[in-house]
Amino acid sequence: MFVITMYVNDCPKNSVSCVARFLGRFSFQPFKENPLLGPSSLALEKMGALDVNKVVHRHEGWRLITCIWLHAGVFHLLANMLSLLVIGIRLEQEFGFVRIGLLYLISGFGGSLLSALFIQTLISVGASGALFGLLGAMLSELIINWTIYANKLAALLTLVIIIAINLAVGILPHVDNFAHIGGFLSGFLLGFVFLIRPQFGWLSQRYAPPGHFSTTIPKFKVYQCILWITSLIILIVGFTVGLVMLLRGVDLNDHCSWCHYLSCVPTSKWSCNSQNVSCLSDQQGDQLNLTCSNTGKSRMYTLAQATNSQITRLCVELCR
Protein backbone atom coordinates (compact mmCIF):
# COMPACT_ATOMS: atom_id res chain seq x y z
CA MET A 1 0.00 0.00 0.00
CA PHE A 2 2.86 2.39 0.77
CA VAL A 3 4.38 1.77 -2.68
CA ILE A 4 1.03 2.49 -4.33
CA THR A 5 0.71 5.69 -2.29
CA MET A 6 4.15 6.84 -3.43
CA TYR A 7 3.18 6.10 -7.05
CA VAL A 8 0.05 8.24 -6.68
CA ASN A 9 2.07 10.96 -4.94
CA ASP A 10 4.47 11.44 -7.89
CA CYS A 11 6.74 13.96 -6.14
CA PRO A 12 8.58 15.26 -9.26
CA LYS A 13 5.23 16.48 -10.58
CA ASN A 14 4.51 18.71 -7.56
CA SER A 15 7.95 19.60 -6.16
CA VAL A 16 11.41 20.52 -7.43
CA SER A 17 13.29 19.39 -4.30
CA CYS A 18 12.25 15.75 -3.89
CA VAL A 19 14.34 13.43 -1.71
CA ALA A 20 15.94 10.47 -3.57
CA ARG A 21 14.89 11.93 -6.89
CA PHE A 22 16.53 9.01 -8.75
CA LEU A 23 13.48 6.96 -7.71
CA GLY A 24 11.39 8.96 -10.17
CA ARG A 25 7.73 9.22 -9.24
CA PHE A 26 8.46 7.06 -6.18
CA SER A 27 10.77 9.74 -4.69
CA PHE A 28 9.87 11.36 -1.37
CA GLN A 29 8.51 14.79 -0.56
CA PRO A 30 11.04 17.37 0.74
CA PHE A 31 12.09 16.94 4.37
CA LYS A 32 10.53 20.29 5.28
CA GLU A 33 7.17 18.99 4.14
CA ASN A 34 7.48 15.39 5.36
CA PRO A 35 10.49 14.48 7.54
CA LEU A 36 9.37 10.82 7.68
CA LEU A 37 10.37 10.12 4.06
CA GLY A 38 6.95 9.80 2.54
CA PRO A 39 4.22 11.32 0.38
CA SER A 40 2.37 14.60 0.65
CA SER A 41 -0.77 15.02 2.75
CA LEU A 42 -2.74 15.47 -0.48
CA ALA A 43 -1.65 12.04 -1.73
CA LEU A 44 -2.57 10.47 1.59
CA GLU A 45 -5.95 12.16 1.41
CA LYS A 46 -6.54 10.70 -2.06
CA MET A 47 -5.63 7.22 -0.79
CA GLY A 48 -8.11 7.31 2.10
CA ALA A 49 -6.56 9.17 5.04
CA LEU A 50 -8.89 10.11 7.88
CA ASP A 51 -10.37 13.50 7.00
CA VAL A 52 -13.13 14.44 9.42
CA ASN A 53 -14.62 16.99 7.05
CA LYS A 54 -15.16 14.32 4.39
CA VAL A 55 -16.44 11.77 6.89
CA VAL A 56 -19.04 14.20 8.24
CA HIS A 57 -20.09 16.19 5.17
CA ARG A 58 -19.45 13.73 2.33
CA HIS A 59 -20.42 10.58 4.25
CA GLU A 60 -17.03 8.91 3.62
CA GLY A 61 -17.11 6.84 6.79
CA TRP A 62 -14.87 4.21 5.17
CA ARG A 63 -11.93 6.52 5.92
CA LEU A 64 -12.13 5.41 9.56
CA ILE A 65 -10.87 2.02 8.34
CA THR A 66 -8.72 2.82 5.29
CA CYS A 67 -6.48 5.21 7.23
CA ILE A 68 -5.20 2.23 9.23
CA TRP A 69 -3.42 0.84 6.16
CA LEU A 70 -1.69 4.11 5.24
CA HIS A 71 1.60 5.45 6.60
CA ALA A 72 3.11 8.92 6.54
CA GLY A 73 6.58 7.74 5.56
CA VAL A 74 9.24 5.03 5.58
CA PHE A 75 10.16 5.68 9.23
CA HIS A 76 6.50 5.54 10.26
CA LEU A 77 5.99 2.28 8.36
CA LEU A 78 9.10 0.59 9.79
CA ALA A 79 8.24 1.60 13.37
CA ASN A 80 4.72 0.20 13.07
CA MET A 81 5.83 -3.03 11.39
CA LEU A 82 8.49 -3.64 14.03
CA SER A 83 5.92 -3.12 16.77
CA LEU A 84 3.50 -5.44 15.02
CA LEU A 85 6.13 -8.19 14.83
CA VAL A 86 7.03 -7.84 18.50
CA ILE A 87 3.45 -7.70 19.81
CA GLY A 88 1.36 -9.47 17.19
CA ILE A 89 3.28 -12.72 16.66
CA ARG A 90 2.88 -13.90 20.26
CA LEU A 91 -0.86 -13.14 20.32
CA GLU A 92 -1.50 -14.72 16.93
CA GLN A 93 0.35 -17.90 17.90
CA GLU A 94 -1.77 -18.27 21.03
CA PHE A 95 -5.20 -17.15 19.80
CA GLY A 96 -5.13 -17.53 16.03
CA PHE A 97 -5.26 -15.27 13.01
CA VAL A 98 -9.03 -14.68 12.97
CA ARG A 99 -9.44 -13.45 16.55
CA ILE A 100 -6.31 -11.30 16.53
CA GLY A 101 -7.13 -9.98 13.05
CA LEU A 102 -10.59 -8.87 14.19
CA LEU A 103 -9.16 -7.39 17.37
CA TYR A 104 -6.55 -5.47 15.35
CA LEU A 105 -9.11 -4.10 12.88
CA ILE A 106 -11.74 -3.11 15.44
CA SER A 107 -9.11 -1.48 17.67
CA GLY A 108 -7.88 0.53 14.69
CA PHE A 109 -11.46 1.65 14.06
CA GLY A 110 -11.81 2.67 17.71
CA GLY A 111 -8.60 4.67 17.52
CA SER A 112 -9.75 6.43 14.36
CA LEU A 113 -13.11 7.23 15.93
CA LEU A 114 -11.67 8.89 19.04
CA SER A 115 -9.10 10.73 16.94
CA ALA A 116 -11.85 12.08 14.66
CA LEU A 117 -13.81 13.38 17.64
CA PHE A 118 -10.86 15.44 18.92
CA ILE A 119 -8.57 16.22 15.96
CA GLN A 120 -10.64 17.69 13.14
CA THR A 121 -8.22 19.99 11.32
CA LEU A 122 -5.48 17.59 10.24
CA ILE A 123 -5.62 14.27 8.44
CA SER A 124 -4.60 11.10 10.27
CA VAL A 125 -2.98 7.88 9.03
CA GLY A 126 -1.25 4.86 10.52
CA ALA A 127 -1.79 1.61 12.39
CA SER A 128 -0.76 2.96 15.80
CA GLY A 129 -4.30 2.76 17.16
CA ALA A 130 -4.56 -0.89 16.14
CA LEU A 131 -1.15 -1.65 17.66
CA PHE A 132 -2.16 -0.03 20.94
CA GLY A 133 -5.26 -2.20 20.75
CA LEU A 134 -3.01 -5.25 20.83
CA LEU A 135 -1.24 -3.85 23.90
CA GLY A 136 -4.58 -3.24 25.57
CA ALA A 137 -5.67 -6.78 24.71
CA MET A 138 -2.51 -8.21 26.27
CA LEU A 139 -3.38 -6.41 29.50
CA SER A 140 -7.01 -7.56 29.59
CA GLU A 141 -5.97 -11.11 28.62
CA LEU A 142 -3.70 -11.18 31.66
CA ILE A 143 -6.55 -9.96 33.88
CA ILE A 144 -9.30 -12.24 32.59
CA ASN A 145 -7.03 -15.32 32.67
CA TRP A 146 -5.35 -14.28 35.94
CA THR A 147 -5.52 -17.66 37.65
CA ILE A 148 -3.52 -19.55 35.01
CA TYR A 149 -0.44 -17.31 35.09
CA ALA A 150 2.66 -17.69 37.21
CA ASN A 151 4.53 -14.50 38.22
CA LYS A 152 1.33 -12.52 37.72
CA LEU A 153 2.42 -9.28 39.37
CA ALA A 154 5.74 -9.17 37.50
CA ALA A 155 3.97 -9.68 34.16
CA LEU A 156 1.37 -7.03 35.04
CA LEU A 157 3.97 -4.47 36.12
CA THR A 158 6.09 -5.02 33.00
CA LEU A 159 3.09 -4.62 30.72
CA VAL A 160 1.83 -1.48 32.49
CA ILE A 161 5.28 0.15 32.24
CA ILE A 162 5.48 -0.60 28.49
CA ILE A 163 2.00 0.83 27.92
CA ALA A 164 2.73 3.94 30.01
CA ILE A 165 5.97 4.69 28.12
CA ASN A 166 4.25 4.34 24.75
CA LEU A 167 1.36 6.58 25.77
CA ALA A 168 3.81 9.13 27.19
CA VAL A 169 5.50 9.41 23.78
CA GLY A 170 2.12 10.51 22.45
CA ILE A 171 2.26 13.85 24.27
CA LEU A 172 4.90 15.01 21.76
CA PRO A 173 3.67 17.30 18.97
CA HIS A 174 2.48 15.82 15.65
CA VAL A 175 1.68 12.47 17.32
CA ASP A 176 -1.99 11.45 17.36
CA ASN A 177 -2.27 10.21 20.93
CA PHE A 178 -6.07 10.16 20.72
CA ALA A 179 -5.76 7.33 18.18
CA HIS A 180 -3.43 5.56 20.63
CA ILE A 181 -5.85 6.00 23.53
CA GLY A 182 -8.90 5.02 21.49
CA GLY A 183 -7.15 1.95 20.13
CA PHE A 184 -5.88 0.96 23.57
CA LEU A 185 -9.30 1.25 25.21
CA SER A 186 -10.95 -0.67 22.36
CA GLY A 187 -8.33 -3.42 22.50
CA PHE A 188 -8.54 -3.60 26.29
CA LEU A 189 -12.30 -4.25 26.13
CA LEU A 190 -12.00 -6.57 23.13
CA GLY A 191 -9.43 -8.65 25.00
CA PHE A 192 -12.09 -9.58 27.56
CA VAL A 193 -14.36 -10.68 24.69
CA PHE A 194 -11.94 -12.45 22.32
CA LEU A 195 -9.12 -13.73 24.53
CA ILE A 196 -10.97 -15.50 27.33
CA ARG A 197 -9.57 -18.97 28.16
CA PRO A 198 -11.47 -21.91 29.74
CA GLN A 199 -10.43 -23.20 33.15
CA PHE A 200 -7.82 -25.96 33.35
CA GLY A 201 -10.26 -28.03 35.39
CA TRP A 202 -12.87 -27.85 32.65
CA LEU A 203 -10.33 -29.00 30.05
CA SER A 204 -9.27 -31.92 32.26
CA GLN A 205 -12.90 -32.83 32.80
CA ARG A 206 -13.63 -32.72 29.09
CA TYR A 207 -10.97 -35.28 28.21
CA ALA A 208 -11.26 -37.44 31.33
CA PRO A 209 -13.09 -40.81 31.39
CA PRO A 210 -16.80 -40.66 32.32
CA GLY A 211 -17.37 -40.50 36.07
CA HIS A 212 -13.81 -39.41 36.83
CA PHE A 213 -15.01 -36.06 38.24
CA SER A 214 -17.64 -36.04 40.96
CA THR A 215 -18.73 -32.44 40.28
CA THR A 216 -19.17 -30.56 37.02
CA ILE A 217 -16.65 -27.76 36.52
CA PRO A 218 -17.96 -24.75 34.53
CA LYS A 219 -16.04 -23.74 31.42
CA PHE A 220 -15.46 -20.18 32.67
CA LYS A 221 -15.28 -18.59 36.10
CA VAL A 222 -18.01 -16.17 37.18
CA TYR A 223 -15.71 -13.12 37.03
CA GLN A 224 -14.72 -14.05 33.45
CA CYS A 225 -18.37 -14.08 32.37
CA ILE A 226 -19.06 -10.76 34.09
CA LEU A 227 -16.08 -9.11 32.39
CA TRP A 228 -17.11 -10.59 29.01
CA ILE A 229 -20.68 -9.27 29.19
CA THR A 230 -19.72 -5.87 30.63
CA SER A 231 -17.00 -5.26 28.03
CA LEU A 232 -19.24 -6.21 25.12
CA ILE A 233 -21.96 -3.81 26.29
CA ILE A 234 -19.48 -0.95 26.79
CA LEU A 235 -18.01 -1.55 23.31
CA ILE A 236 -21.37 -1.54 21.55
CA VAL A 237 -22.63 1.53 23.41
CA GLY A 238 -19.32 3.38 23.03
CA PHE A 239 -18.98 2.80 19.29
CA THR A 240 -22.64 3.68 18.69
CA VAL A 241 -22.51 6.92 20.68
CA GLY A 242 -19.15 7.87 19.15
CA LEU A 243 -20.36 7.36 15.59
CA VAL A 244 -23.54 9.35 16.20
CA MET A 245 -21.54 12.23 17.68
CA LEU A 246 -19.04 12.18 14.81
CA LEU A 247 -21.69 12.16 12.08
CA ARG A 248 -23.40 15.07 13.81
CA GLY A 249 -20.15 17.05 13.61
CA VAL A 250 -19.47 17.12 17.36
CA ASP A 251 -16.02 18.36 18.42
CA LEU A 252 -15.28 16.94 21.88
CA ASN A 253 -12.77 19.72 22.54
CA ASP A 254 -15.79 22.01 22.99
CA HIS A 255 -16.93 19.83 25.90
CA CYS A 256 -13.53 19.08 27.45
CA SER A 257 -11.21 22.07 27.86
CA TRP A 258 -8.22 20.03 29.08
CA CYS A 259 -8.45 16.92 26.87
CA HIS A 260 -6.10 18.34 24.24
CA TYR A 261 -3.26 17.89 26.72
CA LEU A 262 -3.69 14.12 26.35
CA SER A 263 -2.28 14.40 22.83
CA CYS A 264 0.26 17.18 23.20
CA VAL A 265 1.75 18.99 26.20
CA PRO A 266 3.37 22.34 25.27
CA THR A 267 6.84 23.09 26.61
CA SER A 268 9.55 25.67 26.02
CA LYS A 269 10.93 23.35 23.30
CA TRP A 270 7.78 23.03 21.19
CA SER A 271 4.28 24.37 20.71
CA CYS A 272 1.09 22.35 20.36
CA ASN A 273 -0.95 25.14 18.81
CA SER A 274 -1.79 24.22 15.22
CA GLN A 275 -5.09 26.08 15.09
CA ASN A 276 -4.27 29.81 15.31
CA VAL A 277 -2.54 30.11 11.95
CA SER A 278 -3.62 31.88 8.80
CA CYS A 279 -2.45 31.98 5.20
CA LEU A 280 -2.93 34.09 2.12
CA SER A 281 -3.94 31.92 -0.83
CA ASP A 282 -3.85 32.61 -4.56
CA GLN A 283 -5.36 30.04 -6.96
CA GLN A 284 -4.38 30.28 -10.61
CA GLY A 285 -5.52 27.32 -12.66
CA ASP A 286 -4.18 24.18 -10.99
CA GLN A 287 -1.51 26.14 -9.09
CA LEU A 288 -2.19 27.16 -5.47
CA ASN A 289 0.20 29.61 -3.84
CA LEU A 290 0.08 29.81 -0.03
CA THR A 291 1.86 32.31 2.20
CA CYS A 292 1.83 31.81 5.97
CA SER A 293 0.84 35.06 7.69
CA ASN A 294 2.57 33.95 10.90
CA THR A 295 6.02 33.12 9.50
CA GLY A 296 6.07 34.64 6.01
CA LYS A 297 6.93 31.27 4.42
CA SER A 298 5.33 30.59 1.04
CA ARG A 299 4.94 27.52 -1.14
CA MET A 300 3.39 26.57 -4.47
CA TYR A 301 1.14 23.49 -4.71
CA THR A 302 -0.25 21.72 -7.75
CA LEU A 303 -3.90 21.46 -6.76
CA ALA A 304 -6.92 22.32 -8.88
CA GLN A 305 -9.99 23.77 -7.18
CA ALA A 306 -8.65 23.50 -3.64
CA THR A 307 -11.32 23.22 -0.96
CA ASN A 308 -11.28 25.21 2.28
CA SER A 309 -10.36 22.12 4.30
CA GLN A 310 -7.43 21.36 1.99
CA ILE A 311 -6.17 24.94 2.20
CA THR A 312 -6.50 24.90 6.01
CA ARG A 313 -4.54 21.67 6.28
CA LEU A 314 -1.77 22.86 3.96
CA CYS A 315 -1.63 26.15 5.86
CA VAL A 316 -1.13 24.36 9.18
CA GLU A 317 1.71 22.31 7.68
CA LEU A 318 3.31 25.36 6.07
CA CYS A 319 3.23 27.39 9.30
CA ARG A 320 4.83 24.70 11.50
Residues carrying an active site annotation: 128, 180
How far apart are the C-alpha atoms of 320 and 316, rounded to whole Å? 6
Nearest partner of 74 among 169, 172, 3, judged by Cα: 3
CA torsion sign for 121, 317, 170, 183 is positive
As a whole number of angstroms, the distance between CA 117 and CA 74 comes to 27
Cα–Cα separations (whole angstroms), residue 101 to 111, 133, 212, 286: 15, 11, 38, 42
